């Protein structure tokens, strides 16, 4: 027979022997869920306030609970709070400390709720706060992209398909493609926040409670849009965590694509940009090296975040309603995903405005690879030649250029006219890089004018964010 002090007093009355030491450690979550303490205390104060309104607690008891919880939060923030593995989780550690401080009144706090709805509420409160912080950092990154895109609206670089030179574009236009990816990510983040902002508090263990609680009141006190509508679903739902990790996986995929381009562009083979030293590291053996470690690491962390998404999907795939101990495994993947996303966004938001483009290298690369070949085909179409015939004519022109080591813009009029007699001197207006990009002057096009319009429109959207 165990002594009561050997078991968790929140449930130990049913048991006749102490929990095995290994099992206690294996099942405890306090080592990682203690970061939920501020939200746990916030939820408890709201719950106690509601219990006072419905007559379960009196005003003196409420004041005692609020003062006690405030003191505990101060101790936690100061690092002087003593966490106990025997008490399993953040909830029981806080409750035990409160009871130790204010006596029997502390034991009344848990009336009308369970750790099941308590933890579901805490996680939502915590994630909502983190989503707001991530949204702000994502906006900061987008603002940095806009600043660089505006400054580089006329900087010409090669556009690629299959990583082969395709057509000339502007660096500003390329950067705005990154912006659009992140704009969709921001929308997904807002959608996730909207769906998670429902309060499970009051669902209790799984079926609700017999006490006359006011779930609308606690939802309002905690800033939720309202209470969840089904007690079984309330305590077992982790869709919001999965949805956030799905957002994070897509976001990191976008950052990884941008990272790959930054890595390529800093290489000697491309030599398109220079990253400041503070975002790079050197080699222990090769003194000439300047490695783009920040984008490389962001690219690598994408796999980590994707793994967390799969972990949460797998965690939930076979769970019957309602709450199961499996759900304790939701926190570490979610916590690490949030931390990783915040770090990657901070790295990018600091790094992007500091990029130094090498305009001449970009321009020279755009001249190679016959990037204005499509412009020549379009020119021929405007002269009345069917596109398929134009395509063949330009193909022969390119073959000639390869043999003669000449770009289309470097050929003489006589050399070009050997492939079509409709070609006149005005052809050189479309074969220049500037002419090529300027000709694509429509919404979504790479013309400098369109880049500036896109930047202005995007800046106005960002300014309207709350």
59, two tokens: 């005003």
Q: Return d(Cα 57, Cα 65) in angstroms, integer.
A: 10
- Nearest-CA neighbor of 201 among 242, 239, 223, 231? 231
**At how many degrees (to 10) do helices 171-196 and 239-266 cross?**
170
**What is the torsional sign of CA 413, 416, 421, 426?**
negative
> Cβ(340)–Cβ(247) under 8 Å?
no
**What is the torsional sign of CA 437, 438, 439, 440?**
positive
Torsion of CA 356, 361, 365, 366, to 10 degrees: 70
β-strands 356-357, 164-170: how paired?
unpaired
The b-or-e profile of 404-440 (16+ CB within 10 A means b, else e) is eeebbbebeeebbeebbeebeeebeebbbbeebbbbb
Which one of the listed residues 162, 284, 412, 463 is annotated catalytic? 162
**Is 283 noted as a catalytic residue in this protein?**
yes
**At how many degrees (to 10) do helices 37-53 and 59-78 cross?**
180
3-state secondary structure of 159: strand
The number of residues making up the chain comes to 466
> Cβ(251)–Cβ(329) under 8 Å?
no
Q: Return d(Cα 66, Cα 48) in angstroms, integer.
A: 8
Compute φ and ψ for 341, nearest 5 degrees: -60, -45
Helices (H) and strands (E) in the chain, counts: 20, 4
117, two tokens: 């709805």
3-state secondary structure of 382: helix
Which one of the listed residues 267, 283, 442, 457 is annotated catalytic? 283
182, two tokens: 């992140």
Q: Which DSSP category does 253 fall into?
A: H
Q: Return d(Cα 400, Cα 373) in angstroms, integer.
A: 13
**Is 361 noted as a catalytic residue in this protein?**
no
Instruction: Return the number of other C-beta atoms located less than 10 Å from residue 92's C-beta.
Output: 20
CA distances from 171 to 15, 33, 175, 462 (A): 68, 45, 6, 21
> Cβ(125)–Cβ(208) under 8 Å?
no
Q: Report the catalytic residues.
A: 162, 283
């Amino acid at each position: 027979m165990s002594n009561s002090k050997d078991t968790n007093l929140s449930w130990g009355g049913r048991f006749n022997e102490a929990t095995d030491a290994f099992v206690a450690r294996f099942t405890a979550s306090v080592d990682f869920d203690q970061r939920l303490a501020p939200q746990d205390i916030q939820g408890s104060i709201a719950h106690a306030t509601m219990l006072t309104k419905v007559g379960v607690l009196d005003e003196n008891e409420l004041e005692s609970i609020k003062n006690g919880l405030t003191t505990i939060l101060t101790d936690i923030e100061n690092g002087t709070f003593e966490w106990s593995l025997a008490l399993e989780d953040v909830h029981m550690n806080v409750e035990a400390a409160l009871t130790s401080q204010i006596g029997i009144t502390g034991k009344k706090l848990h009336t009308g709720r369970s750790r099941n709805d308590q933890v579901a509420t805490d996680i939502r409160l915590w994630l909502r706060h983190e989503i707001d912080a991530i949204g702000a950092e994502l906006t900061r990154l987008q603002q940095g992209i806009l600043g660089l895109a505006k400054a580089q609206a006329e900087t010409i670089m090669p556009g690629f398909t299959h990583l082969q030179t395709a057509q000339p574009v502007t660096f500003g236009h390329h950067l705005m493609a990154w912006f659009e990816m992140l704009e969709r990510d921001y929308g997904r983040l807002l959608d996730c926040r909207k769906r998670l902002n429902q309060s499970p508090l009051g669902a209790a263990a799984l079926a609700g409670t017999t006490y006359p609680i006011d779930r609308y009141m606690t939802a309002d006190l905690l800033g939720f849009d309202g209470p969840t509508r089904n007690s079984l679903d309330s305590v077992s739902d982790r869709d919001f965590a999965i949805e956030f990790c799905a957002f994070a996986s897509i976001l990191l995929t976008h950052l990884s694509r941008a990272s790959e381009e930054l890595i390529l562009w800093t290489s000697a083979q491309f030599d398109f940009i220079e990253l400041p030293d503070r975002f790079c590291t050197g080699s222990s053996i090769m003194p000439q090296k300047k490695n783009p470690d920040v984008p490389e690491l962001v690219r690598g962390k994408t796999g980590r975040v994707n793994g967390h998404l799969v972990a949460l999907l797998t965690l939930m795939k076979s769970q019957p309603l309602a709450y199961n101990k499996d759900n304790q495994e939701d926190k570490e993947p979610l916590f690490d995903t949030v931390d990783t996303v915040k770090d990657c966004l901070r790295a990018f938001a600091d790094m992007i405005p500091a990029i130094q483009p090498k305009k001449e290298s970009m321009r020279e690369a755009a001249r190679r690879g016959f990037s204005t070949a499509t412009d020549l085909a379009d020119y021929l179409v405007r002269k009345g030649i069917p596109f398929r015939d134009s395509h063949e004519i330009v193909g022969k022109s390119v073959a000639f250029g390869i043999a003669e080591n000449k770009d289309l813009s470097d050929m003489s009029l006589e050399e070009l006219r050997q492939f079509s007699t409709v070609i006149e001197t005005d052809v050189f207006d479309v074969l220049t890089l500037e002419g090529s990009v300027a000709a694509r002057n429509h919404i979504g096009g790479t013309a400098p004018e369109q880049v500036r319009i896109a930047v202005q429109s995007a800046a106005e959207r960002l300014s309207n964010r709350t």
